Structure 1
Amino acid sequence: MNILKKIQKFSEPTLRFVALLISTYIFVVAFLIFFQTIVMNAYIHDSTLWDMEPKEGEIKKGVLVSKVYNIDNADAVLLNVGDIILEINGVQVNDFKQAQNVLNQYKDNDVLQYKIQRGDETLTIPVKVKKYFNIPSIGFSLMGFIFLLVSTIVMYSKPREYLNQLFFIMGCTACLTFILIGNVNAIFELSKFFIYHSTVAQFIFFPLYIHFFLSFPIYYRTRYRKYLIPAIYLFFFLIALLAFLYPHEAIFSIILVYYAILSLIVGFVIFLISYFKITDPLKRRPLQIILIGFIIGGFGFVYLNVIGLLLSVPFFLINPLYYIPAILMVAIPLSFGYSIFRFKIMDSEFIVKRSLVFGLVTVSVVGMYLLLVYLLNNFFLNYFGNDRLLITFTVIVIIAVTFDSVNNRIKGLVNNHLYKESYNYRKSLLEFTRQLPYMSNMDQIISKLGKSLSEAMGISNLYLWLNSENIDMLIKENHTNGKTQFVDEVERNEVDEIFRSISYSNEEPVLLYDINLSELGLKEETRQFFKKEGIVISVPITLKGKLFGSLNFGSKSSGKVYSDEDIDLLKTIASQCSIAFENVRMQTEELNKQKIEGEIQIAARIQHELLPKNLEYLRGLNIDAVNLPAERIAGDFYDIKKLDNDRVLVLVADVSGKGIPAALYISRIQAMVHFASRIFTDPKDILCEINRLLYKKTPGNFYLTALLGIFDLKNKSLKICRAGHPQLIYIRNEKLLQLSDDSIGINMVPPDKFNKSIVSHDLAFKQCDIFFFYTNGLVAQCNKDNKFFELSDIKSILQRNAGDNPKTINNALISEVKSFRGEIEQKDDITLVTIKIK
């Protein structure tokens, strides 16, 4: 029902308050009906039947006697069939309702004076009246009150549960319905206020009875359900409305009665079908109690109707003892109550335990008060004198001081003796939750968690879902065989989608029984997944608003539903699990960080070792090189290799990216250059070969720029080629020069296009010429004003220091860059190679 979905937005305290308000109101109305019809206006009769609706012309006033019964009242019955009762004890009567109201004012065995009309005579005769003890009415009333009590307890325990709400409404309407059915013969005595309440209750109860069993114990999900249930309510409402608007048309009332009887039969048949569909013995056990209750109660109903037919006398003339078996009708609400409280098919432990504690505390406090007053009055009165106020004050102080201790002791008593099993497993699980945050191994946590829950609560299975976005693991722990299974990537993605589809409102657990699955609006495959895995409750594992995963539990081996205290305990466990998982995650991250840090240190050391160190042995060249990584591992590198006695290879390159991947590529490229330099003598050919070897054999986003030169000391010439790299700067005769050409980086285009995009230059050199190789990290440095170190700044520094050695030139450049940058961090790697011809 949509109205039940809308009230979910209200808080539990609000729903409990409203439920208590409604049930109190229903109880007051029902009790007033019961009190008025059974106690105040008990049914009094004179052993005759009256014509309730005399035919037109039969009589103009009074009540027509249609039948006389001489049963245990022969001496007092002086009425004859056809007599018209005009007055009873001096009170004029005009119809049977008024006459019955007059009779109900008297007591059992009273002798009343009837003024009657017999033929043409008017007589006054004594008539002895009898009181009818209405056992069927008491039976129906008990049914109503028990239904109201049980449904109120269920609603108070879990007011947000759809099934509890449905049962509560059925209990409230059942109370007024059965009260009215039991007192239908006295309906004319009731005010319209009571009649309207009971009539509305009947409008709701009979279709709701079918609705309830379409949802319990199996939720029947068909595509026509959303039309079927409203149709059941609408049809009954229309028939009831016609019977109410046209009370003299008997056909509507007859249809209404038969429809009500049919509703009761259909509801029972649906329950019977559900019972036989459920094969699990644990789930069947509480339903079996209800089925037995239906059978016993049904016997009471049948007996009540058959006894009247067999004896062929009005109900008020039947010996009340004959009606005692009809009391068996109360077996129906009692079976519901017993199953709910004993097997917890609808959780009620919360209110039952609280009521017990409250009742025992109240009795204890009252008993303590009376005992203290007695002792003080009898033994200490001489000391206090007649000062009663002081005695009262002393008693109040003693009770106030000891109240907390008494309350705790009674709670412990109730837990230890009436809820010993629950108390013990909650105690053991709470102890386990204290240990959880200190466990540092994921397997240990899962193993201990499964074992503790299985042993303590008797949970048949535990399905632990860990969000792949947070922890790359999904484990299913089946405690019947103790095996741990890991799902594959495809299945894991499907499971992730299933659990993320659950809306954990306010990080609260979600019940996944059949009735709840239909209300959550989940996909059919999602519902089937939970049914297949046997999951009935999902408790989210969250930390700081972040969903780690969820603990998902199957049914208890006892067949009982999860109580509020169970759910609170599972929430505590989930909360501790989140801390434990976070500790494991942080510990794992720290170990991984340490491992990566170690790997970075090794990679940085290897990269550093790969850079040429001792460059003084190179005849004819004065070389200085600087490599300053922005991070631990650079993406820039240089290489200086003596090819033979006359030739020296100089390479400066910049690899895309940084870190360990960049270091791996650098070592690979360095090896390629060494290999290619043995085959080719032209730098262009070497770069083309490297592009050929790398193209489409590395990730699509990888590329590098390079400036490669080969110094020929014998011929005093430099062959140089660049691939997308900053151009070579050189100084000759104190004049700064720069090569100018277009080129593209390696691994950016196919070999044929790359080969056409680069060119090789031949430069002659002489003594004191300076050649400056660098990477673009030098001009990528910026200061606090977001201004970059420019090429003009580099040229200016080179010209100022042209007379110095390469080491001095490089130091001047680095010093100027650091001064320019200030406190701003280095943004990119810097590599410089300065060569001066000796």
Structure 2
Amino acid sequence: MKNNIKNKSVPPKKDKDKDKDKVAVSAVYLRNIEKKVEDLETIIEVSSIISSTLDYSKLISLIMEKAKHIMQAEACSILQYDKESNKLFFEFAITGERVTSNLLLKERVTLDMGQGIAGWVAEHLEPVIIEDVYLDERFYREADELNNFKTKSLIAVPLVGRRGLLGVAMIINPKDKSHFSDYDAGIFQTFCVQISAAIENSRFHTESVQMEKFRQGLEIASVLQKSFLPENPAFTKGNLHVSAANIPAEKIGGDIYDFIEPVNGSIGVLVGDVSGKGISAALYMAKIISDFRYKSKTIEYPEVVFNRLNVGLSNSPMGMFLTAAYFIVDVNTGQFTVSAAGHPPFLWISNSGVKIMDIPSGPPLGIIQYEYTSSGFTLQSGDRLLILTDGVFDAKNKIGERLGFGRLVAYVKEHREKESLVQAIVDYLHDFSNGAETSDDITLVELKWK
């Protein structure tokens, strides 16, 4: 069957899909889109600012200026949270006049947690948007009264970092409308994320710089402190051989030892432990060694030296004192005298065994007026004296177990034939602690009579 349909000219169809794509957009809508694009660009710019400097005051000033501009606000402020006092204080504030904002900072206006709108936000860690603050019972009016400024509407957002609450940021009084919108609140919250990051980065940088300065200070203090100790920890004079070990718990410590020759034919050996640790103990230790070397010249009686030292240390800062033992040994005869000031007993190692020498002792130096006394003894061939600070027997292992004086004495009894008791005990303490952090300075001095 033939197809009888003849070709006919067909008019072109209208493109209805194109007509559908044409949508009328109001000028208001376009302005809103443009505003959002501008806001996004500003937020990106703020991210760039944060990565450009670690100067905290400069960072916050730039970011809050941007926030004030983008929010079209009359004022903005940041209250910093102080963890120690549990209070908020104005750290940064911008109003129309810079002088006005400075009053808040100068007067150091503070808020307790929960006080005012900022205090409430800090306590609950929740943002708020308030249309009329004078209708809100939480509003704290003193800041307005101090600045001669009227707060109408505000957004307050908690600043929270990895370490917890940092503070509260507030944007105040929109210029072209009666109150802030939910959109404004969202934008400001985004800004506050940037502010929190800026604060934490800047604080971390500041802390790192301070820690590095402190570390350098400790390094210098450590070098200086070591310069006060004997240059060589071992020497021989006549029949007497002396060796020592000093291991500070930190870079610097409070244990001291010193060797001097007060009079011909005698050796003076001082071992002491300064109260406290760190830089204060190191400075006190330096003063004591200087005083000791000056006051012990030509003096052959240890109690006289202690009496003089005690007077000189009587004006020491509260809580600073020295426990010490001072020996003066005749290197030809083996006779020695010793005075003690609150110091642990020393050990006398001889062919017959190990004796704990708990001699009469006065109080630590630098606490009260006191007349010190001395005790006299004579060394025999092969005898040793072991003088130590309490850090030796106070050493702990990883489970917190303390070595104890009794265990130390037992070790010395078992190993009293070793060539160097000082090194043997240092190795023993190392094995006992098994990597546990040292909690106190360790000092050992051995006097060996040939």
| TM-score normalised over the length of structure 2 | 0.80
Matched, 1:519 2:136: yes
Aligned to 1:665: 284
Q: Give matches, 1:649-798, under 5 Å.
A: 649-678=268-297, 681-695=300-314, 697-700=316-319, 702-713=320-331, 716-740=334-358, 741-747=360-366, 749-751=367-369, 755=370, 758-784=372-398, 786-798=400-412
Structure 1 residue 453: Cα displacement = 3.4
SS in 1 for 2:445: strand
| Contact persistence 1:416–1:423 (CA under 8 A) | no
The higher radius of gyration belongs to 1
Aligned to 2:119: 501
| Contact persistence 1:630–1:828 (CA under 8 A) | yes
Report the AA paired with residue 568 of structure 1: G
Q: Distance in 1 between matches of 2:342 and 2:423?
A: 26
Aligned to 1:430: 43
Match of 2:221 among 603, 609, 612: 603
Q: Give matches, 1:539-558, under 5 Å.
A: 539-544=157-162, 546-558=164-176
| Contact persistence 2:330–2:336 (CA under 8 A) | yes
Q: Which has the higher strand share?
A: 2
| Contact persistence 2:88–2:167 (CA under 8 A) | no
- 1:234-277 Cα shifts (integer Å, max 9, x gaps): xxxxxxxxxxxxxxxxxxxxxxxxxxxxxxxxxxxxxxxxxxxx
* Residues 498-507 or 432-441, more deviating: 498-507
Aligned to 1:467: 81
Task: Evaluate the alpha carbon distance shift between residue 558 and residue 421 of structure 1 in structure 2; reply closer, same or farther with a 3 A threshold.
Answer: farther
Q: Distance in 2 between matches of 1:815 and 1:697?
A: 36
Q: Distance in 2 between matches of 1:632 and 1:590?
A: 18
Q: Distance in 2 between matches of 1:501 and 1:826?
A: 43
SS in 2 for 1:684: helix
Matched, 1:590 2:208: yes
| TM-score normalised over the length of structure 1 | 0.46
Q: Give matches, 1:270-669, under 5 Å.
A: 379=13, 414-417=28-31, 419=32, 422-423=35-36, 426-438=39-51, 439-469=53-83, 475-478=91-94, 480=96, 482=98, 485=102, 491-492=107-108, 494-495=110-111, 501-504=119-122, 507-511=125-129, 515-521=132-138, 525=142, 528=145, 532=149, 534=151, 536-544=154-162, 546-558=164-176, 560-614=178-232, 615-616=234-235, 618-669=237-288
Structure 1 residue 667: Cα displacement = 1.1
Structure 1 residue 781: Cα displacement = 2.1
Identify which of structures 1 and 2 has the higher relative contact order when contacts are C-alpha pairs closer than 8 Å and 6+ apart.
Answer: 2
Task: Evaluate the alpha carbon distance shift between residue 452 and residue 775 of structure 1 in structure 2; reply closer, same or farther with a 3 A threshold.
Answer: same
Aligned to 2:421: 809
Structure 1 residue 790: Cα displacement = 3.6
Structure 1 residue 518: Cα displacement = 4.6
Structure 1 residue 722: Cα displacement = 1.5
Task: Evaluate the alpha carbon distance shift between residue 442 and residue 559 of structure 1 in structure 2; reply closer, same or farther with a 3 A threshold.
Answer: same
Structure 1 residue 422: Cα displacement = 4.4
Q: Distance in 2 between matches of 1:474 and 1:527?
A: 13
Task: Evaluate the alpha carbon distance shift between residue 789 and residue 565 of structure 1 in structure 2; reply closer, same or farther with a 3 A threshold.
Answer: same
Q: Give matches, 1:58-207, under 5 Å.
A: none
SS in 1 for 2:73: coil
Q: Distance in 1 between matches of 2:399 and 2:95?
A: 65
Task: Evaluate the alpha carbon distance shift between residue 546 and residue 506 of structure 1 in structure 2; reply closer, same or farther with a 3 A threshold.
Answer: same
Percent identity (aligned): 22
Root mean square deviation, CA, Å: 3.9
What runs of 5+ residues in structure 2 fail to find an aligned partner? 1-10
Report the AA paired with residue 261 of structure 2: K
SS in 2 for 1:768: coil
Matched, 1:828 2:440: yes
| Contact persistence 1:504–1:510 (CA under 8 A) | no
What runs of 5+ residues in structure 1 fail to find an aligned partner? 1-376, 382-394
- 1:737-775 Cα shifts (integer Å, max 9, x gaps): 33223543334x432xxx16x532122334433111101
Q: Distance in 1 between matches of 2:104 and 2:141?
A: 21
Structure 1 residue 681: Cα displacement = 4.5
Report the AA paired with residue 539 of structure 1: V
Report the AA paired with residue 604 of structure 1: S
Structure 1 residue 584: Cα displacement = 0.9
Structure 1 residue 581: Cα displacement = 0.9
Structure 1 residue 677: Cα displacement = 1.6
Q: Distance in 2 between matches of 1:422 and 1:663?
A: 62
Task: Evaluate the alpha carbon distance shift between residue 473 and residue 707 of structure 1 in structure 2; reply closer, same or farther with a 3 A threshold.
Answer: farther
Report the AA paired with residue 328 of structure 2: I
Q: Distance in 1 between matches of 2:69 and 2:140?
A: 34
Task: Evaluate the alpha carbon distance shift between residue 622 and residue 474 of structure 1 in structure 2; reply closer, same or farther with a 3 A threshold.
Answer: farther
